[in-house]
Amino acid sequence: MEYDLDYINKWIETDTFANKLLRKSNLTETQLKDYVAYVWNKDSVTYEKLGEKRGITKQAVSDNIRLAKENIDRAVATILLGIYANIVPVEISDILIELLALSKKAKEGEEEDFLEIRKEMLKLIKKI
């Protein structure tokens, strides 16, 4: 794995974005770790490898990732409903679209690009 579990643990402990995500979402720390490990290492990791590294079953990893995806899907659906019902201002929707575009670039970029894009994402989040 390119991003090992120690790296992800340090990221969760020290990164303000990760801490906000944990505080403001329904994700548990374990779900976030499994989901991030899977997404960041998608090309080189399987549920089995993640389970072996954490000492849990493939099914447990799969459940954590599924629950994380469901929570993320709910959050996105809530945002879209808020925009549609005019509860969330259109300006914020523009910021959210920028965040989605940046997250796509971050996923496809190199580590230095990722760190730079993450800084831009945090600036956008502060605007909200």
pLDDT, residue 54, reads: 83
pLDDT in tens, 53-111: 888 899 998 898 888 888 777 777 777 777 667 776 767 777 777 777 777 666 666 66
The upper half-sphere exposure of residue 36, i.e. CA atoms within 13 Å in the direction of its Cβ, equals: 21
pLDDT tens track for 118-128: 777 777 777 76
- The dihedral formed by the CA atoms of 11, 51, 27 and 5, expressed in degrees to the nearest 10: 0
Is the pTM higher than 0.75? The answer reads no
Q: What's the rounded Cα separation, in Å, for the pair 12 and 109?
A: 21
Q: φ and ψ at 67, to 5 degrees? A: -65, -40
What residue spans of 5-57 are helical by DSSP H? 5-14, 16-24, 29-40, 47-54
Q: How far is CA 68 from CA 31, 46, 71, 117, in A?
A: 6, 16, 5, 23
